Chains A and B, each alone.
Chain A
Amino acid sequence: DGGITQSPKYLFRKEGQNVTLSCEQNLNHDAMYWYRQDPGQGLRLIYYSQIVNDFQKGDIAEGYSVSREKKESFPLTVTSAQKNPTAFYLCASARGRGVDTQYFGPGTRLTVL
């Protein structure tokens, strides 16, 4: 089955630790995205990548970092600089450039204790 996988589904970390969230897709999509979801705020774009080895900041990139070494993978690192990291994180992908439908993974809920 083609789709987007995110792991783990639940993640707990202590304050001050970096943590990396996984996102993998087998849809052969060029573009990948990371969103953060908080109650009552909808989804906000953290980073996106149009192609391997290229990525751009979204609206709320501070405290996050990404890499895109492979077409199918777009991991997100939540660093200790992120002031309020507890949230639901969603990864998405789309075929490529221009307006296109984004398809979403199941999400990872990160709780920082």
Chain B
Amino acid sequence: SAVISQKPSRDICQRGTSLTIQCQVDSQVTMMFWYRQQPGQSLTLIATANQGSEATYESGFVIDKFPISRPNLTFSTLTVSNMSPEDSSIYLCSVALKGAQYFGPGTRLTVL
């Protein structure tokens, strides 16, 4: 299994600012995923981050708004840029390892 930690666990931010969320995994993994969870809705995939290559963004998400770094096989960051209240959500990091998918605890973001 994989143990995933995220920082911060929650934050309250002013509109127009940016927040970087960190995701740390206790195993080396090729594929890491960033999701957004709105209350009572399905998880929405933002992007897939493979080490050593550019992240692949899903429709509706762009690199300028959600830049991602993947410097090594155990770490990734997602930045939510120029935030607005519509970005208030829980952001989850996830990894695929040996045919299973594991999720981090999430970062609860509130934008005022």
Query: Are A and B interaction partners?
Result: no
